[in-house]
Structures are given as C-alpha cells and as structure tokens.
Amino acid sequence: MLKKGIQVKIISGKDKGKTGEVLEINRKLNKIKIKSINMIKKHLKPTKENKGGIVSKENFIDQSNVKNIDQNKKEKKTTGKK
C-alpha cells in the first residue's frame, strides 16, 4: 500500500529507474506525486504576492508505474501456536 512519505521506484515512463519520496496521493484517480519525478514547467502570471514567470514542479504519475521499495515495511509473521 502506498502512503505519503515512503520511498518508491519508477518502473516505467520517462523517469524509469529513478527513486523518490511520495509527496501527495490522489486515490480517486489512482495517481501520486513523487519528489523531483515527472517535472513540468508551469507558467505563472504575476500577481501582488507572486513575481510570476516559469516554475518547475512535480506532476502526477499513475501509481501502476511505481514500486514500493521502503525499507521500513513491517511484515506480519504468523506463529504456529494453537
């Protein structure tokens, strides 16, 4: 199961082989945002608060294109007691 903050590896697409941390999950669309993966350029208009210009940011990637590689997984082991 994918959760925010775990490490994943990209198994297909333009960033194949890269690893990163999950930043955001959209469960309705089955998409996730990974730190410094699938970067896009976004053009922002200047406002009173923002200067504007071209900003690089992460975009969503389908969760079927990633594999969980987090080392802190806790696996349940069953005991043979009756």
Q: What is the pTM of this model?
A: 0.75
d(C-alpha 40, C-alpha 34), whole Å: 12
Domains of the chain with bracketed CATH? 7-68 (2.30.30.30)
**Which residue type is seen at 25?**
I
List, for residues 10-47, the tens digit of each pLDDT value: 999 999 999 999 999 999 999 999 999 999 999 999 99
Strand residue runs (E) in 1-82: 7-10, 19-26, 31-34, 39-44, 53-58, 61-62, 66-68
**For residues 7 and 23, is the Cβ–Cβ distance under 8 A?**
no
